């Protein structure tokens, strides 16, 4: 008799149609070749949303899910993935978020929640122990994410309910709206908060008491104790524990040495006397009050802060991450750390993506400097570099689409198209997704990973840290065909590295594990070997590192095909904004650094060839898809005449 | 009076990850099952303060040298300690019954 339980997986997909107000349960089994989380979500969105359906159309599909290692003792087994069509790019959006939601979903009996349709009035979804219901959320509409959590928990008299919810930014369909989990964690990309908003979906609240079964419980326990020890020994994990991801802010040496995106990415040198104000040690010494871990995570990279008074206090918040410090700091030339803290709190309360609003505010500040936006346009706000007060006010205006905020809530690409006057030239986005990055000019492989990412931009796909961590020359040569992969300035081997990490990250996101507990940050942490072993111990299904890697390739190829079919992206869409090629870094150890077109294109050729894609169009080839067994993907691309035979 | 082993909680060190709940639930059920744990972690969102409660069902993993919750507590918010407990003598019990 077939075992009635799943090991590792909860075993079920919840399907919700908000137009028809129905909830149905489906077995996860047919989708298991894509593991879970991002893999299954991508496959569902790819199959169920046709290219003519826009991101905020009621017919659009959004899938929220996790993988077989979430809700377990695996270090970092806490991640939820949200896949949908991207508001900004029109291609795929995959967002990944920590906290306790993923575990609670498993304990409530679901691996994946797939939502279609649009509710007539605001609603929230309540999921408890294998059951789901659609509830009235009219009284929640207009509330911040923090208040929404508080109200729902209060109504249900249960402080252990976990939530994914949107704030005013999602309700107002801002392109930069995200989904917030546990107050301070964000699924930031692709405007997924606006997709929630377009469906009148305020929140998903989850609570469960069901077990997650392990195929080999004792083996799983013992192996996780070993992994826990490895995390404890890891220097990189130690930095996360001590400072959070903000610890990466000063990596590279004393202030002024670490490249930061400065003044809307026109430069990557921020002198030490400015950077000093926003160093991780400053935040730690002045305002940190504690730490808050995601589910079962030994690193606990989220830190708590309290501003007792001053211009922006009293204020208690959590999760100030390094990219927020950059987006609200060097990006706008702001050195006022208290304004950055206030900005971070607002971003979480309003449900905004820090990189998205950072990018669009950088564009607005530059447009103001150039006289393309005036005080009359901004309602009196002086968008001058370094003006922290203006930044704080602007954030709220964007979330509520007030005044100039209405323009900026379109997303940077669309705002620049609306304003025109050449402002498109300094709208910093990739494929329509806003960008907020650092080390783009100096670290060539890192840059390539940002620009080739299927979700538009961002360093959390193929951008590798090998240029910072270093790698043994022989290992580098055997894995990537070049000893140069550790050298930031080299172009050689970077295409292969980027393609490798793109596939690897797809595996990590499908397992439900945090990238910060993997070989991405430390070669001694979870890699493919460890993932394969954990997968077998948890699910009882045999696999191997090469087999898992192949699943990662399949997932990344599904995303690539989605982009080709829905957004028509080609090679030109994998190129960086001109600024990174034409405006070199002005000072510091990387003075003069820029992306040379010839070198960048060489990396891109190498990248396409590693993936098995056509270097001229960037399209997938029939041979690549045959090798991966993606017949349906191949059929659709061929039908659209976007397949290289 | 008697001295017994107990789990000591240093809640100011706790990060609220709930690995202890998983470990304890695992000890009882061999599953990832925090709802069956004898230890519970709660957080006050407004202050960030965390409280850890150990229920009467905790037997300090009597078959193990180190209780499982302590083994997985990375921030070292849990440790093994001893506490004095009052034990009831036969005479105490009898007098209790009489009153």
Regarding whether A493 and A412 lie in a shared domain, the answer is no
CA gap B93, A155 in Å, rounded: 45
- Domain holding A372: CATH number? 1.10.569.10
Q: Are A548 and A530 in contact (CB under 8 A)?
A: no
Average pLDDT of the segment spanning B22-49 = 94
Residues of B in contact with A231 (CB under 8 A): 74
Average pLDDT of the segment spanning B17-30 = 97
What DSSP element (H or E) covers A23?
Answer: strand A22-27
Bond before A314 cis per omega within 30 degrees: yes
pLDDT of the residue at A8: 98
CA gap A149, A146 in Å, rounded: 5
Residue A187 lies inside a defined structural domain of this protein: yes
Regarding whether A609 and A567 lie in a shared domain, the answer is yes
- Note the ipTM here: 0.94
Which residues on neighbouring strands pair with residue A82, listed in sequence order? Answer: A64, A95
Regarding whether A448 and A425 lie in a shared domain, the answer is no
If one counts every other C-beta atom within 10 angstroms of the C-beta of residue A29, the result is 12
Helix (H, G, I), strand (E, B) or coil at A25: strand
CA gap A203, A121 in Å, rounded: 13
What is the per-residue pLDDT across A235-294, written as a single tens digit (0 to 9) for each? Answer: 999 989 988 888 888 765 556 678 889 999 999 999 888 888 998 889 999 999 999 999
pLDDT of the residue at B82: 86
Q: Are A584 and A592 in contact (CB under 8 A)?
A: yes
C-alpha distance from A243 to closest chain B C-alpha (Å): 14
pLDDT bin (cut points 50, 70, 90) of residue B98 is very low
The closest CB to that of B15, out of A183, A221, A291, belongs to A291
Residue of higher predicted confidence among A514 and A280: A514
Q: Are A49 and A148 in contact (CB under 8 A)?
A: no
Average pLDDT, chain B: 89
Proportion of chain A above pLDDT 70, given as a percent? 99
What is the per-residue pLDDT across A458-487, written as a single tens digit (0 to 9) for each? Answer: 999 999 999 988 888 998 998 898 999 999
CA-nearest of A410, A418, A484, A491 to A448 is A491
Residues of B in contact with A183 (CB under 8 A): 45
Instruction: Judge whether residue A2 has pLDDT over 80.
Output: no
- Domain holding A162: CATH number? 3.60.9.10
Average pLDDT of the segment spanning A611-623 = 98
**With an 8 Å Cβ cutoff, is B31 touching chain A?**
yes
Residues of A in contact with B71 (CB under 8 A): 225
Regarding whether A325 and A259 lie in a shared domain, the answer is yes
Residue A529 lies inside a defined structural domain of this protein: no
Residue A523 lies inside a defined structural domain of this protein: no
The closest CB to that of A209, out of B35, B48, B72, belongs to B35
Residue that finishes a domain, picked among A381, A407, A434: A434
Regarding whether A45 and A24 lie in a shared domain, the answer is yes
Regarding whether A266 and A190 lie in a shared domain, the answer is no
Please report where in the chains the tokens 């990850």 appear, as a residue. B17
pLDDT of the residue at A273: 85
pLDDT of the residue at B97: 45
**With an 8 Å Cβ cutoff, is B33 touching chain A?**
yes
Residue that finishes a domain, picked among A434, A453, A485: A434
Task: Return the beta strands (E) in A167-208 as ranges.
Answer: 179-181, 185-187, 201-207
Regarding whether A456 and A389 lie in a shared domain, the answer is no
Pairing type for strands A185-187 and A131-136 reads unpaired
CA dihedral A455, A458, A463, A466 (to 10 degrees): -150
A163: phi then psi, degrees, rounded to nearest 5: -140, 150
Residue A327 lies inside a defined structural domain of this protein: yes
Residue A233 lies inside a defined structural domain of this protein: no
What is the per-residue pLDDT across A47-61, written as a single tens digit (0 to 9) for each? Answer: 999 999 999 999 999
CB within 8 Å: A296 and B18: yes
What is the per-residue pLDDT across A301-343, written as a single tens digit (0 to 9) for each? Answer: 999 999 999 999 999 999 888 999 999 999 999 999 999 999 9
Residue that finishes a domain, picked among A389, A404, A434: A434
CB within 8 Å: B31 and A221: no
CA gap A624, A611 in Å, rounded: 8
Residue A533 lies inside a defined structural domain of this protein: no
pLDDT bin (cut points 50, 70, 90) of residue B93 is low
Question: Which residue range is the domain that position A408 belongs to?
Answer: 244-434
Q: Are A92 and A39 in contact (CB under 8 A)?
A: no
CA gap A332, A279 in Å, rounded: 16
CA gap A390, A364 in Å, rounded: 11
Regarding whether A634 and A489 lie in a shared domain, the answer is yes
Residue A239 lies inside a defined structural domain of this protein: no
pTM, rounded to two decimals: 0.96
Q: How far is CA A35 from the centre of its chain?
A: 19
The closest CB to that of A217, out of B30, B36, B42, belongs to B30
CA gap A597, A506 in Å, rounded: 28
**With an 8 Å Cβ cutoff, is B65 touching chain A?**
no
Q: Are A381 and A393 in contact (CB under 8 A)?
A: yes
Task: Return the beta strands (E) in A36-181 as ranges.
Answer: 62-65, 80-85, 92-97, 112-116, 123-128, 131-136, 162-165, 179-181
Return the residue of B nearest to A158 by Cα. B42
CB within 8 Å: A211 and B71: no
CB within 8 Å: B19 and A160: no
Regarding whether A371 and A283 lie in a shared domain, the answer is yes
What is the per-residue pLDDT across A64-86, written as a single tens digit (0 to 9) for each? Answer: 999 999 999 999 999 999 999 99
What is the per-residue pLDDT across B52-77, written as a single tens digit (0 to 9) for each? Answer: 999 999 999 999 999 999 999 999 99
Which residues on neighbouring strands pair with residue A131, listed in sequence order? Answer: A128
CB neighbour list of residue A324: distance below 8 Å, 6 or more residues apart? A340, A343, A344, A347, A354, A358
What is the residue-wise DSSP string for A291-353? EE--TT-SS--EEEEEE-STTT-SEEEE---HHHHHHHTGGGT---HHHHHHHHHHHHHHTB-
Q: What end-to-end distance do the CA atoms of chain B give, in Å?
A: 22
CA distances from A328 to A362, A437, A441 (A): 9, 12, 20
CB within 8 Å: A304 and B48: yes
Which residues on neighbouring strands pair with residue A318, listed in sequence order? Answer: A304
Proportion of chain A above pLDDT 90, given as a percent? 90
CA-nearest of A512, A439, A99 to A249 is A439
Helix (H, G, I), strand (E, B) or coil at A543: coil
Average pLDDT of the segment spanning A134-158 = 97
What is the residue-wise DSSP string for A598-631? HHHHHHHHHHHHHHTB-TTT-PBBHHHHHHHT-H
Regarding whether A374 and A256 lie in a shared domain, the answer is yes
Average pLDDT of the segment spanning A88-115 = 98
CB within 8 Å: A150 and B25: no
Residue A212 lies inside a defined structural domain of this protein: no
DSSP state of A577: P
Residues of A in contact with B72 (CB under 8 A): 73, 224-225, 228, 296
CA gap A518, B19 in Å, rounded: 19
pLDDT of the residue at A407: 98
What is the per-residue pLDDT across A605-616, written as a single tens digit (0 to 9) for each? Answer: 999 999 999 999
pLDDT bin (cut points 50, 70, 90) of residue B99 is very low
CA distances from A445 to A163, A431, A468, A518 (A): 36, 19, 11, 19
What is the residue-wise DSSP string for chain B? -EEEEEEEE-GGG-----HHHHHHHHHHHSSB-GGG-SEEEEE-TTT--EEEEE-TT----TTSSS-HHHHT-TT--EEEEEEEE----HHHHHHHHH-
Q: Which residues of chain A approach chain B closer than 8 Å at the C-beta?
A: 71-73, 100, 103, 106-107, 146, 149-150, 159-160, 183, 208-214, 217-218, 221, 224-225, 228, 231-232, 289-298, 300, 304, 316, 318
pLDDT of the residue at B89: 65
Average pLDDT of the segment spanning A102-122 = 98
Domains, chain B, with CATH or none: 2-98 (3.30.70)
CA-nearest of B72, B68, B56, B95 to A296 is B72
**With an 8 Å Cβ cutoff, is B51 touching chain A?**
no
Interface test with A, best of B27, B48, B65 (most A CBs within 10 A): B48
What DSSP element (H or E) covers A565?
Answer: helix A545-567
Interface test with B, best of A105, A216, A296, A534 (most B CBs within 10 A): A296
Instruction: Judge whether residue B90 has pLDDT over 70.
Output: no
What is the residue-wise DSSP string for A109-151? T-SEEEEES--SS-EEEEEETTEEEEEE-TTTTT--HHHHHHH
CA gap B86, B3 in Å, rounded: 9
pLDDT of the residue at A5: 82
Regarding whether A155 and A47 lie in a shared domain, the answer is yes
Return the residue of B nearest to A224 by Cα. B72
CB neighbour list of residue B88: distance below 8 Å, 6 or more residues apart? B96
CB neighbour list of residue A90: distance below 8 Å, 6 or more residues apart? A54, A55, A432, A566, A567
CB neighbour list of residue A71: distance below 8 Å, 6 or more residues apart? A77, A102, A103, A104, A105, A106, A107, A212, A295, A512, B32
Average pLDDT of the segment spanning A572-589 = 96
Average pLDDT, chain A: 96
Regarding whether A151 and A270 lie in a shared domain, the answer is no
Residue A290: HSE in the Cβ half-sphere, 13 Å Cα cutoff: 20
**How many domains, chain A?**
3
CB within 8 Å: B45 and A296: no
pLDDT of the residue at A251: 63
Please report where in the chains the tokens 């669009």 appear, as a residue. A360
CB within 8 Å: B32 and A213: yes
């Amino acid at each position: 008799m077939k075992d009635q339980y799943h090991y590792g997986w909860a075993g079920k997909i919840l399907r919700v149609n908000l137009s028809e107000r129905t909830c149905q349960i489906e077995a996860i089994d047919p989708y298991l070749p894509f593991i879970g989380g991002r893999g299954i979500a991508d496959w569902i969105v790819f199959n169920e949303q046709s290219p003519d359906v826009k991101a905020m159309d009621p017919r659009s599909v959004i899938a929220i899910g996790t993988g077989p290692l979430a809700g377990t003792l695996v270090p970092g087994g806490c991640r939820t993935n949200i896949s949908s069509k991207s508001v900004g790019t029109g291609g795929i959006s995959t967002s990944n978020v920590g906290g306790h939601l993923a575990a609670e979903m498993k304990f409530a009996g679901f691996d994946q929640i797939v939502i279609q349709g649009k509710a007539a009035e605001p609603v929230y979804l309540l999921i408890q122990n294998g059951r789901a219901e659609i509830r009235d959320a009219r009284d929640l509409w207009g509330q911040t994410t923090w208040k929404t959590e508080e109200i729902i928990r209060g109504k249900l008299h249960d402080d252990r309910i976990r939530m994914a919810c949107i704030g005013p930014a999602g309700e107002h369909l801002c392109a930069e709206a995200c989904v917030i989990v546990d107050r301070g964690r964000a699924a930031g990309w692709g405007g997924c908060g606006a997709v929630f908003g377009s469906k009148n979906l305020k929140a998903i609240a989850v609570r469960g008491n069901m077990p997650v079964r392990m195929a080999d419980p004792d083996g799983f326990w013992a192996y996780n104790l070993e992994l826990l020890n490895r995390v404890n020994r890891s220097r990189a994990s130690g930095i996360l524990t001590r400072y959070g991801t903000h610890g990466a802010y000063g990596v590279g040496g004393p202030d002024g040495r670490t490249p930061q995106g400065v003044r809307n990415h026109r430069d990557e040198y921020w002198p030490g006397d400015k950077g000093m104000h926003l160093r991780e040690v400053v935040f730690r010494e002045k305002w940190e009050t504690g730490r808050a871990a995601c589910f079962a995570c030994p690193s606990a990279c989220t830190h708590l802060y309290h501003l007792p008074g001053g211009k922006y206090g009293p204020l208690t918040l959590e999760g100030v991450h390094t990219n927020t410090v950059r987006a609200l700091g060097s990006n706008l030339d702001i050195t006022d750390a208290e304004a950055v803290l206030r900005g971070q709190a607002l971003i979480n309360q309003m449900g905004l993506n820090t990189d998205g609003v950072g990018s669009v505010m950088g564009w607005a500040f530059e447009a103001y400097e150039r006289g393309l936006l005036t005080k009359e346009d901004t309602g009196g706000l002086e968008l001058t570099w370094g003006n922290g007060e203006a930044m704080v006010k602007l954030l709220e205006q964007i979330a509520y689409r007030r005044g100039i905020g209405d323009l900026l809530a379109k997303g940077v690409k669309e705002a620049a198209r609306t304003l025109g006057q050449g402002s498109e030239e300094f709208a910093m986005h990739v494929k329509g997704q806003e960008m907020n990055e650092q080390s783009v000019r100096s670290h060539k492989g890192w840059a390539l990973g940002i620009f080739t990412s299927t979700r538009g931009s961002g360093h959390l796909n193929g951008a590798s840290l090998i240029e910072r961590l270093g790698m043994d020359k022989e290992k580098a040569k055997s894995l990537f065909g070049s000893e140069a992969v550790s050298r930031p300035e080299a172009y050689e081997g970077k295409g292969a590295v980027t393609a490798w990490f793109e596939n690897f990250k797809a595996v990590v996101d499908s397992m439900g594990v945090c990238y910060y507990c993997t070989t991405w940050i430390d070669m001694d942490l979870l890699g493919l070997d460890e993932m394969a072993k954990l997968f077998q111990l948890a699910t009882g299904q045999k696999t191997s590192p090469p087999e898992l890697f192949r699943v990662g390739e399949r997932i990344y190829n599904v995303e690539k095909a989605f982009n080709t079919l829905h957004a028509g992206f080609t090679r030109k869409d994998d190129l960086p904004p001109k600024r990174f090629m034409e405006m070199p870094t002005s000072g510091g150890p990387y003075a003069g650094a820029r992306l040379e077109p010839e070198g960048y294109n060489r990396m891109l050729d190498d990248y396409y060839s590693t993936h098995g894609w056509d270097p001229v169009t960037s399209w997938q080839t029939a041979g690549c898809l045959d090798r991966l067994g993606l017949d349906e993907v191949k059929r659709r691309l061929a039908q659209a005449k976007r397949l290289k035979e | 009076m008697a001295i017994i082993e107990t789990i000591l909680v240093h809640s100011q060190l706790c990060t609220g990850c709930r690995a202890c709940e998983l470990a304890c639930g695992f000890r009882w059920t061999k599953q990832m099952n925090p709802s069956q744990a004898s230890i519970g972690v709660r957080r006050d969102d407004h202050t960030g303060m965390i409280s850890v409660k150990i229920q009467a069902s905790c037997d300090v993993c009597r078959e193990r040298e180190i209780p499982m919750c302590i083994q997985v507590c990375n921030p070292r918010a849990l440790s093994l300690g001893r506490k004095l407990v009052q034990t009831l003598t036969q005479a105490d019990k009898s007098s209790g019954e009489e009153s």
